[in-house]
């Protein structure tokens, strides 16, 4: 049974060791000497389905975990086949999202090759490329919020072995439709096209049908993204049987954690609950955009789990929000996102808390002073009259 933080402190059996750099997950010890995970208050914004919590608990307590792991692998493959509508040969389970993408990159590119990354992109992408000696080239469109297949096609060359894009983009919220994905796959047919659908459950749109027609397309998905920590998630690839066979040959031992597979089965069994939660998240994003605009903020909703706000001082705003236990990220380090902060959106009460924190925040953190604005004087195009229009 999952136990509360208060109960842990009362028993004196409390382990504060964090297991990852993802949103933190802790363990408490019970009388059965088993490690039982619990979620700290305000730790996660989306409540995990009760069935997922129960599945993790039962697996950890199971003394025959080896048998359970084999059964879970078979059940999970069967459920993913029905969930995706693709045959088992087009599905490959992988431990984590980064591991899944690394397996693609290391299989289809090597030292001296180039990967084209559609910006903005997560920080781990250049790290993966650097580890394998692969060059990185970024593709910046006119706007980070609008898909531009033409810019990607113009950036491809004979050294481009892989193209990476997130759909939806987890930073800016940019999305590509299936016609654009198909166009990129056909035009850049010498390169593997990685489409990262980590937030598929939030977005609700997928390019999985294109897997049957586009031999160079590989989709990456992560179940339970943003709902449980990385130790209890897994990823899976959708692609042609030939591509997945080549990846498996290079990465034969990549297996998802057994407990993550148990959680994944429960996740798919509770998909209606997840759909309802996602609907609430999107409603709250719209609600927050409306409320925050009353502060004079420019807000932009995304199809993922966050909203974007444009502010004068992103670092100050982010620091203030984090100090009040609001999950916010300074995006000023990303090209074309220099004035933006990302705020993760969750339950109703959390949304009200965000509003309350902005009421406490000094407005000069997020409002640009009129004196700090650049004044541009436009001179007349007529003869040198010196007139200022």
What's the domain range around 70? Answer: 60-269
Residues 286 and 260 in one domain: no
- pLDDT for res 224: 63
Q: Which residue has the higher pLDDT, 300 or 251?
A: 300
Most confident of 70-79, 90-99, 216-225, 285-294: 285-294
pLDDT digits (tens, 9 = 90+) for 162-184: 999 999 999 999 999 999 999 99
Residues 246 and 357 in one domain: no
Residue 27 has pLDDT above 70, yes or no: no
Q: Which residues contact 235 (CB under 8 A, 6 or more apart)?
A: 93, 94, 95, 96, 97, 99, 100, 198, 220, 221, 222, 223, 256
Helix %, strand %, coil % of the chain (to 5): 45, 15, 40
pLDDT digits (tens, 9 = 90+) for 236-247: 999 999 999 999
Residues 361 and 216 in one domain: no
Pairing of strands 26-29, 14-15: antiparallel
Asked if residue 19 is part of any domain, the answer here is no
Backbone angles phi, psi at 18, to 5 degrees: -90, 145
Which range, of 48-57, 191-200, 306-315, 356-365, averages the lowest pLDDT?
A: 48-57
Residues 292 and 245 in one domain: no
Helix 241-250 to helix 97-108 angle (10° resolution) is 100
Handedness of CA 144, 150, 155, 159 (dihedral sign): positive
- pLDDT for res 384: 40
Residue 273 has pLDDT above 60, yes or no: yes
Residues 248 and 288 in one domain: no
Task: Choose the final residue of a domain: 248, 269, 290.
Answer: 269
User: What CATH number is attached to the domain comprising 315?
Assistant: 3.90.1150.10
State the distance between the two ends of the chain, measured CA to CA, in whole angstroms: 72
Residue 196 has pLDDT above 70, yes or no: yes
Q: Which residues contact 213 (CB under 8 A, 6 or more apart)?
A: 182
Residue 371 has pLDDT above 70, yes or no: no
Identify the band that residue 90 occupies on the pLDDT scale cut at 50, 70 and 90: very high
For the chain, how many structural domains are there in total?
2
Residues 186 and 232 in one domain: yes
Q: Across the strands, what pairs with 301?
A: 307
Asked if residue 48 is part of any domain, the answer here is no
User: What CATH number is attached to the domain comprising 111?
Assistant: 3.40.640.10
Q: How far apart are CA 255 and CA 185, in angstroms?
A: 28
Helix 271-292 to helix 348-360 angle (10° resolution) is 20
Is 0.85 topped by the overall pTM? Answer: no
Residues 227 and 307 in one domain: no
Residue 30 has pLDDT above 60, yes or no: no
Asked if residue 1 is part of any domain, the answer here is no
């Amino acid at each position: 049974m999952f136990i509360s933080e208060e109960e842990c402190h009362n028993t004196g059996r409390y382990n504060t060791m964090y297991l990852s750099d993802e949103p933190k997950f802790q363990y408490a010890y019970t009388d059965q000497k088993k490690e039982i995970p619990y979620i700290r208050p305000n730790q996660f914004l989306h409540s995990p389905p009760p069935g997922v919590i129960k599945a993790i608990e039962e697996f950890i307590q199971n003394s025959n975990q080896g048998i359970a792991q084999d059964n879970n692998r078979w059940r999970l493959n069967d459920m993913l086949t029905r969930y995706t509508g693709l045959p088992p040969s087009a599905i490959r389970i992988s431990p984590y999202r980064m591991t899944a993408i690394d397996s693609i990159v290391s299989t289809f590119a090597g030292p001296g090759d180039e990967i084209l990354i559609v910006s903005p992109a997560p920080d781990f992408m250049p790290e993966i490329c650097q580890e394998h000696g692969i060059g990185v080239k970024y593709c910046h469109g006119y706007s980070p919020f609008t898909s531009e297949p033409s810019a990607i096609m113009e950036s491809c060359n004979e050294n481009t072995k892989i193209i990476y894009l997130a759909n939806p983009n987890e930073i800016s919220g940019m999305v590509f439709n299936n016609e654009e994905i198909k166009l990129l796959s056909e035009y850049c047919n010498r390169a593997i096209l990685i489409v990262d659908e980590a937030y598929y459950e939030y977005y609700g749109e997928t390019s999985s049908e294109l897997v049957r027609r586009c031999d160079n397309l590989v989709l990456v998905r992560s179940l339970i993204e943003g709902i449980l920590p990385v130790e209890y998630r897994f990823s899976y690839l959708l692609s042609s049987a030939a591509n997945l066979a080549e990846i498996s040959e290079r990465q034969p031992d990549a297996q998802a954690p057994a407990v993550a597979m148990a959680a994944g089965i429960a996740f798919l069994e509770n998909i209606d609950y997840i759909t309802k939660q996602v609907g609430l998240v999107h409603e709250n994003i719209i609600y927050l955009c409306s409320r925050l605009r009353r502060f004079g903020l420019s807000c932009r909703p995304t199809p993922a789990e966050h909203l974007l706000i444009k502010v004068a001082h992103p670092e100050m705003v982010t620091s203030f929000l984090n100090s009040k236990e609001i999950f916010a990220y300074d995006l000023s380090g990303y090209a074309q996102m220099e004035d933006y902060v990302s705020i993760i959106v969750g339950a109703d009460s959390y949304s009200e808390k965000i509003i309350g924190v902005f009421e406490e925040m000094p407005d000069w953190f997020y409002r640009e002073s009129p004196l700090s604005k650049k004044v541009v004087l436009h001179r007349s195009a007529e003869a040198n009259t010196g007139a200022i229009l």
